[in-house]
Structure 1
Amino acid sequence: MASLPALLIEAFSAEPLQGNGAGVVLLEAPASSAWMQGLASSLRQSETAFLWRDPRGAWLLRWFTPSCEVPLCGHATLAAALGLHHWGRLQSEVPLQLWTRSGGLEVAVSSAELPQVSVTLPSSGLIDEPEPPSYLGPLLGGAPLRYWSSPLGYRVVLVAPDVPLEQLQVPADGLQGEDRNGLVVMQAAHDLTPALAGEPCDYQLRFFAPGLGIDEDPVTGSAHALVAPWWMQRLQRQSVRGWQASHRRGGMLCEAVHPGCVRLSGTGHLLWDGQIHAPGCGADPLGWQVLSSS
C-alpha cells in the first residue's frame, strides 16, 4: 500500500478544535495489529479507527488508543461513519452495520446540511460497589455519593452538584487500581452546563483513563452509553442529553432503543483530509476474523 485515505474528525462537536479527535483510516487489506498500533501511537488521538471491507462486503472496524486496542469506542465509531459518508461509502439515511469486537454497531448519517450521526452502542449496566476507594474523596474534592463498577471495565462515581466538575484537576498518577482503566466522574447538570442543540442537558461527566494511555478523554461515547440508562431511570424518561465538561467540550443525545443498547446522536467536524504514507502494514486476516463472525 503506497498510501491510504485518512481523516481526522472531531466527534460530538460541530465546532472546530472542540469535541474528541479521532483518526479514521480506510484500509485496502486486513492490516496487522502491530502496524495499526504503531500508526495510532504516531497520530496520538484518543482513538484511531481502522475500517476494512471484507470479501463478503461487511465493514469491519477496530479502534486503537496510542497504547492499546480497545473493545468499544463511541466517538471513533461516529468518526468512522462520517468518514465512510465523506468517502461516498455510506449513503445518507441508510443504516449500516459496522462489525467490531463488541458485535455489530448500527450507524446512520442524516441528509441535513450539517449531518447528524446516530451510533447504537451496547450498554453493559452499572454494578453497585458498597465502598468507593478512600482516596477518591480527597482527589475529587468531596465524598462520592455513589460508586459503581461495570462489565465494560469502567468505574463510575457520582459526585454532588456543588463539586466544580469543570475545574477538577485529576492527575494521571492520582488514580489507583481499576480506576486507572476508565473512571467516569458524573453529576446532575446545573445552570452553567451548556445547552445541546438549544435544549438543556440532564447530566455532565468527565472521563479519565491513564491505564489505556488516555489521561483524559474529551467526549466519550462509550461512557455516556454506560451511564445514560441510569439517568433515564432516575428521570423517568426514554432519552437524556449528556454533556462532557472537558477542555474540548461536547455532548450528545442518548436514547433507549432496546434493552442493553443506547443510541447516541451527535455531529462531528472534519479537521483534515489526506493520505497516510506508512508502508509495511502486513496482512492479518485472522486478527479480523473474530469481527466478521460476531
Structure 2
Amino acid sequence: MGELTPGDQAQRAVLIEAFAAGPMQGNGAAVVELSQAARSEWMQALAGSLQQSETAFLWRNSDGQWCLRWFTPTCEVPLCGHATLASTLALQRWGLMKPGQELVLASRSGGLRVCVDPSTAGAASLTLPSEPLVAEPCPSYLAAILNAEAQGYWTSTLGYRVVLIGEDQSLETLAGVSERLQGPDRQGLVVMQALPADRPQRLLGQPCDYKLRFFAPGLGIDEDPVTGSAHALVAPWWAQQLGKTTLHGWQPSRRSGGMRCEVLQGLQVQLSGTGHVLWEGQIEAGAPGHDPGGWDVCRVSAA
C-alpha cells in the first residue's frame, strides 16, 4: 500500500454482495463513505476501477441527511436497488444506523426509505418507486436472441424494456444476449418468466413466483446478477396477474439471488433481502474534491 500524499484522503469502503442467499452469490456493490459531496469525475473514475455493477457513494448534507448516488463502471444511474440495500447494511456495520431504525436516503429518484431488519442478521429492506409498464410491439429481432416468441413487451419511463417469455423456454440457458441487443433495449432489458409450479425455487423460506434476467450493455453492464430496480418495476405487474401483493422474485444469473417484493400504494415497492460482506477497508485514490452543487441533483422529500 502506497503512502498518502498531501491532500489525499482515505475513504472508508466495504463491498457487500446484495440480495444473496449466501457468500459468493448475489450482486456485489462497493459502498464508499464521503465526508462531503464529491466531484462526479472522481466518483466515476473510482467506480471504473472497482468494476462492480454499481458503486454507491454516501455522505451527509448540511441538514444531516444521508445522500446517495450510484455509478456503474461507465456512467451514473438514477436508481439502483442492490447498492441501496448494500448502503443500508454498510451504515449499520459502521455504527451509523441501528437495527429497526428507518432512514430516508436522498437520491436522484427522490427519498428512499430503508430499514435494517432487527430480527435477521444481514437483512434489510428498501422502498423503491415503480413505473407503469406500457405495452408495445416487440422488436422482431428479439425472437432470434431469446429463442422464443415474446408473450408481451413493454417500455417504461425508467428506461428499461421488459419482455415476457413462456414457461416452456429456458431462461437460465440464454446466452449471448447483451452483444446482440439493439437500440433502446441496450439501456436495460428485463427478460421475465413465470416460475413453473413443478420446479419451485425457494427464497427466505417461501416459493418464488417469477424469475427474470437483466441485460444492460448500454450502461456498461452486460448482465446484472440481481437487480432491485428491475424487480420493483415488474412486481406490480406480477401482483396483478397473480392476485397478491407480496411476491418473491428470483434472478437465475451466474451469481443468482432474489428478494421479497411487497407492492405498496402509490407505485411503491418494498424490497427485502440479505447481504454478505466480502471485504472492508479504505480507498486511497487521491482527494475526491468537493462539488458544492452535488447536492442539487438529489431531492430530499420522501417517496
TM-score between both structures, scaled by the size of structure 1: 0.97
| Cα shift at 1:287 | 2.1
Deviation, structure 1 residue 293: 4.6
Q: Per the alignment, in what secondary structure is the counterpart of residue 46 of structure 2?
A: helix
Mapped pair 1:137 → 2:143? yes
Alignment-mate amino acid for residue 137 of structure 1: A
What CA deviation, in whole Å up to 9, does each residue of 1:65-88 have, x standing for no partner?
Answer: 000000000000000000000001
* 1:152 matched residue in structure 2: 158
Equivalent residue of 1:225, what SS?
A: helix
Q: Secondary structure at the match of 2:237?
A: helix
- Report the equivalent of 1:24: 31
Q: Which residue of 2 aligns with 1:35?
A: 42
Amino acid aligned to 2:185: D
CA deviation digits over 1:223-269, x for unaligned, max 9?
A: 00000000000011011110001010001000012221000000100
**Counterparts of 1:181 and 1:209 in 2: how far apart (Å)?**
5
Cα contact 1:58–1:292 (8 A) shared by 2: no
Among 88, 91, 98, the residue aligned to 1:84:
91
Q: SS in structure 1 opposite 2:203?
A: coil
Structure 1: state its 5+ residue gaps: none
Question: Please, which runs of 5 or more residues in structure 2 have no aligned partner?
Answer: 1-7
1:103 alignment partner in structure 2: 110
Percent identity among equivalent residues? 58
The Cα shift of 1:193 comes to: 4.5
For the aligned residue pairs, the C-alpha RMSD in angstroms reads 1.1
Aligned to 1:287: 294
Equivalent residues of 1:60, 1:292 under 8 A apart: no
How far apart are the structure 1 equivalents of 2:49 and 2:186? 23
Q: Report if the CA contact (8 A) 2:88-2:124 is conserved.
A: yes
SS in 2 for 1:55: coil
What is the deviation of 1:29?
1.6
| CA distance in 1: counterparts of 2:19 and 2:51, whole angstroms | 18
1:221 counterpart (207, 221, 228): 228
Deviation per CA, 1:105-145, whole angstroms, max 9, x where unpaired? 0000012352321100000110111x100010111011000
Amino acid at match of 1:161: E
**2:206 equivalent among 178, 183, 199:** 199
SS in 2 for 1:166: coil
**Match of 1:160, SS?**
coil
The worse-fitting range, judged by mean Cα deviation, of 273-282 and 145-154 is: 273-282
| TM-score for the superposition, normalised by structure 2 | 0.94
Counterpart in the other structure of 2:58: 51
Distance, in Å, in 1 between the alignment partners of 2:177 and 2:13 is: 32
Distance (Å, rounded) in 2 between the aligned partners of 1:55 and 1:184? 38
Contact persistence 2:122–2:276 (CA under 8 A): no
Contact 2:177/2:215 (8 A) holds in 1: no
For 1:199 and 1:182, how far apart are their aligned partners in 2?
Answer: 28
**Distance (Å, rounded) in 2 between the aligned partners of 1:91 and 1:14:** 23
Number of residue-to-residue matches in the alignment: 293
CA–CA separation in structure 2 for the residues paired with 1:184 and 1:255: 19
Say which of 65, 69, 73 aligns to 2:72: 65
- The list of structure 1 runs, each at least 4 consecutive aligned residues, that deviate by more than 3 angstroms after superposition, is none
Distance 1:51 1:245, change over 3 A: same
CA distance in 2, matches of 1:101, 1:68: 14
The Cα shift of 1:178 comes to: 0.5
